Every structure is written in structure tokens, then in C-alpha cells.
Amino acid sequence: MNRRKGLFLVITGAIFWGIGGTVAKKLFQQYEIDIDWLVTTRLLIAGFLLLTVQFFGKDRSQVLGVWKNRRIAIQLIIFGLFGMLTVQYTYMASIQHGNAAVATLLQYLAPIMIIVYLIFRKHTVLTRRDLLTVSLALVGSFFLLTNGSISQLSVPTLAIVWGVLSGIALAFYTLYAVPLLKQYDSLVIVGWAMVIGGFALSFIHPPWQMGFTYLTLEAYSYLIFVIIFGTMIAFWFYIESLQSLLPKESSLLGSVEPLAAVLTTVFWLKEPFGFFQWVGTACIMGMILLLALKKRSFSDTSKPPENEEPLKVS
């Protein structure tokens, strides 16, 4: 029964993440929601909700206890600004200029960036599996972005730039979070990181300055979905699934996210997706599955131990 519950939670959470990106694209496209306002609001509300869950459901002392150590506090601020905020903003910017499918798939190139980084830092050695995953990522990205044509791109340049930056930010986010996760629950680290990122962006676009005068009931329902279901509940369900599933299993099932983003982008938003872009999507999905099935971590510094909770950010 517990295993069935874990499977339900991780699959539902991943689907919410994937659909959340597509719904955000709908808000940008149809209602001209300002990206700064959406990212600020999403981070602040979801962050406070996650901290509330921690306060009432787990070790409440950690919520404020994380700030008692100066070194940890500084690391958390850096993580919130250059990890959480950067990942969220670049991901949403890629969606705004392109679509959720491409943005999500480009963000999932982060593991390849981590492999390359660790090889250059001599923390790991290049293996055949690494060569295969890098090849799948490169071939998949080529087909995804060009649809098989070497003369033109099928995706706006800005969407590609923001998507690649999102992947780089996610790689930093993943590596930098490891020491923090070893000392505090992931709900505390991610919750505060969201609040820090949202607070910082508030100086650029205060959440109370919405930038729009009128939204339909449908638009408000989309906003609620992105903030509550596509961020807070999606992350919560993923973390809860680890109570009855192995981290490797949760990571593998989490690859439903880009699939959900692609399907909803194509069939709900009616975004054009060529044959070779489907081939590229298959390559990147294969790369994700190959990495998720990998039994050992890239190195001791690149991934938390089996009893640690991996992070999700989309």
C-alpha cells in the first residue's frame, strides 16, 4: 500500500511540474502576465507554504534553526539567489520566448553539464555510459532545436539562450545544495530558497504591482495551478514519495515531467512540433532514463547519498 502511494505521489507531482510550465506559457501568451511578477509571486507563496508544511508536519525547529549558523545562512542566501531564483527565472523566460516543452527538455541537460564539470575538475572519469548520455543529449538537442535543418532554428534564439542558462543554473543548484541537504530537511532548504529568491525579485517587481487590470476566472485558475499545484504540491508530493520509494525510483518516475510538458504543449496549446523534434525529444528522454537508472552517483560531491532527498525545481 505504501509503495502504491509513493508511485501515485511521484507520478502526480511530475505531471503537475510538466503541466505547470505549459500553463505558465498560456498565461504569458493569452493574458500577457509579466514574467517578473509571476516568478516573484510563485516563489514567495510556494516558499511560505513549504515552510508551513515543515512547521506543522516535521521538525519545526529547523525552520528558524537554519539561520543560527552564520556559514549555513550565507550558503542559503547564495543558494536562494544564484540557485533557486536563477533556475526559476531562466526557466520561465525560456517558456515565455519559446514553449514549455523545449524549456523543460533544455533544463534537463543539466546532468550532462554536471558530468562535464566533474570530469574537468577530475572528480570522476569519463565512462562509456557518460559518452552515450552526452551523445544522446547533443543529438537530441540538435533535432529538438533545428527539426533536422542545419540552415535554421525551429525555436526562437532567446528561448534557446534562456533554456541553456536554465540548465547551467540547475547544474549549480544541484551541486551547491548537497552540503545544505546533509544538515537540514529539503523542505526547509527549498522553502527558504524560494522565499529569498522571491524577496530579492520583489525589489524589481513588487508582487502587489500586478501589471494587469483585469483577469478572467479562467486566468486566476491558471495562476492558482502554477503556484499551488505546479510548484508547492508538485514538490511536496515528490518529497513525500521518498518515504516509500528509493531515490533512484523517484528520479526515474520524475522523468514523466518533460513528457507531460511536451504532450500538453503539442495537444493543448497546439504548438507545432516536427518529426525530428520528436526524435530529439526521444533522445533526451532516453538520456534522462539512462541517468536515472544509473546505480552509482557521478561522485560523492555531485549527488546526495541514497538516504538524502534529491531536489526538484521546475
Residues 80-139 pLDDT 10s: 999 999 999 999 999 999 999 999 989 888 888 888 888 888 777 778 888 888 888 889
- C-alpha–C-alpha distance, residues 265 and 118, integer Å: 34
- C-alpha–C-alpha distance, residues 236 and 219, integer Å: 24
Confidence band (pLDDT; 50, 70, 90) for 302? very low
Q: What is the pLDDT of residue 247?
A: 65
Nearest to 287 by CA among 262, 266, 258, 311: 258
pLDDT of residue 1 exceeding 80, the answer is no
pLDDT digits (tens, 9 = 90+) for 10-20: 889 889 999 99
- C-alpha–C-alpha distance, residues 87 and 301, integer Å: 20
| Amino acid of residue 14 | A
pLDDT of residue 303 exceeding 50, the answer is no
Nearest to 97 by CA among 158, 140, 176, 164: 158
- C-alpha–C-alpha distance, residues 202 and 200, integer Å: 5
Cβ atoms of 133 and 112 closer than 8 Å: yes
Q: What is the pLDDT of residue 44?
A: 96
pLDDT of residue 304 exceeding 50, the answer is no
Cβ neighbours for 54, distance < 8 A, ≥ 6 positions apart:
60, 62, 63, 185, 187, 188, 191
Query: Mean of the per-residue pLDDT values for the chain?
Result: 85
The predicted model gives 281-303 an average pLDDT of: 67
Cβ atoms of 156 and 100 closer than 8 Å: no
Q: CA-based angle 195:297:165, to the nearest 5?
A: 45
pLDDT above 90 covers a percentage of the chain that reads 44
pLDDT of residue 142 exceeding 70, the answer is yes
Confidence band (pLDDT; 50, 70, 90) for 305? very low
Cβ atoms of 28 and 227 closer than 8 Å: no
Q: What is the pLDDT of residue 251?
A: 66
Cβ atoms of 132 and 290 closer than 8 Å: yes
The predicted model gives 69-86 an average pLDDT of: 95
